[in-house]
Amino acid sequence: MNTSIDNEITKLIIKGFVIATPGKLRKHIGPFDADNNQINFKDLFLGEKQSKRIKIRNTKEDTMFISLASEIDGIKIEIKPAILCPADYGELIIHFNSENRDLGKKTDMIQFNVKYADNIQQGYLILNSNIIEDFSTLTREERENPPKIIISVNNKALMIKDLIPNKLRTEIIEVENIGTRDLYIRNIQSFDEKFRIDPVKFIVEPGKKDSFNINILPDASINKLKSIITIISNDPEQSVISFTIIGEVDLPEASSNKGIVNDIQIGKAAEIVKSFKGSNELVILDVRTADEYNNSCLEDAVNIDFTGSNFRKMMKLMDKQKTYLVYCQSGIRSKKAVEQMSEIGFKNIYHMYEGIEGWKTKHLKLIDPNK
């Protein structure tokens, strides 16, 4: 056992092996267990079809009636069986057809409605796909006379300074075709909604230039924006080009010494969680008691009890440069928590003031942190 700061804060390191229970389904899609709640369709050629299966089980005491909440183009889901008795196994069969979808990466969220006893609960399945062009079908003449793309971004990074909160800024990116055939820009993607692309598709003739706009609209909640811009074209040697765009926001001087606290609604909180998915720059902070946290929490949430005697000391150990999404049960404790965090010097704080109760009313994803 190692001690840090004082005897009240301890860290226990246990070495050993965890042996999984054979056959246990360790993921969840709403109220039923599953062996996976995220499916990846990687590098599919445009027009290609693929299917994958997920094993599910009803671990409730009541029969479940499972249905799709809505249809998504190019995705067909089979639920076998749609009526799942207690302790019974079933499966979801996901059929993916890339024929009418844009090239590039995309994430779809499949929503299920699950009725059991007197409850109707939602479950979510995440589907990631990457659609690519098949250059093996090119003729010899097309291979010998390809389009060639050049963009006006050097070193694969673009720094935008002096952004002003709530004021639109537009950056123009030039695209040049130095090849001998028309250059088709199939799709341009940004993975942060604060960076909007227009247009996302166009054609550049040989020896010509064209451009697209990156429209940036920052708010006063964060002093640095970052995203990856991906350009997908029919250049067989550089069909995918990516660069990083970083925006520095000039925040009011009053904000520089004290952290910024933004009271946000549930919809905005869900957007923030989605936009930071896969990044370690967002900390989801649950300031409820351990018992409340263990009952259910937001995915990837860290629990530090605001009512505990060590809350302020623990927060001083946290990285103040990261972005924090803070919540409690109904917004009362979290309001006091974010005030203390602001005083300590945390710069970017989102306060989900409706609490986890508000999150539940929107039927958004919660997890059991012990599973």
Domain residue ranges in the chain: 27-132, 141-249, 257-361
In the CATH scheme, what is the homologous superfamily, with its name and number, of domain 257-361? Rhodanese-like domain (3.40.250.10)
pTM over 0.75: no
Is 9's pLDDT higher than 70? no
Same CATH fold assignment for domains 27-132 and 141-249: yes
Mean pLDDT over 249-269 rounds to 73
pLDDT of 18 > 50? The answer is: no
Pairwise pLDDT comparison (179 vs 29), residue with the higher score: 179
Q: According to the model, what pLDDT value does residue 255 have?
A: 47
pLDDT of residue 199: 96
Average pLDDT over residues 363-371: 87
Q: Is residue 19 very low, low, confident or very high in pLDDT (cuts 50, 70, 90)?
A: very low
At the topology level of CATH, where does 141-249 sit? Immunoglobulin-like (2.60.40)
Q: Above pLDDT 90, what percent of the chain?
A: 50
Residue 307 has pLDDT above 50, yes or no: yes
pLDDT at 361: 87
pLDDT beyond 80 at 221:
no
**Rounded mean pLDDT of 48-58?**
95
Question: pLDDT, tens digit, for every residue of 56-68?
Answer: 999 899 999 999 9
CATH number of the domain at 27-132, out of 2.40.50.220, 2.60.40.10, 3.30.230.10, 3.20.20.70? 2.60.40.10
Segment 181-189 shows an average pLDDT of: 95
Mean pLDDT of the chain, nearest integer: 87
> Are residues 321 and 346 in contact, defined by beta-carbon separation less than 8 angstroms?
no
Whether the per-residue pLDDT at 206 is higher than 70: the answer is: yes
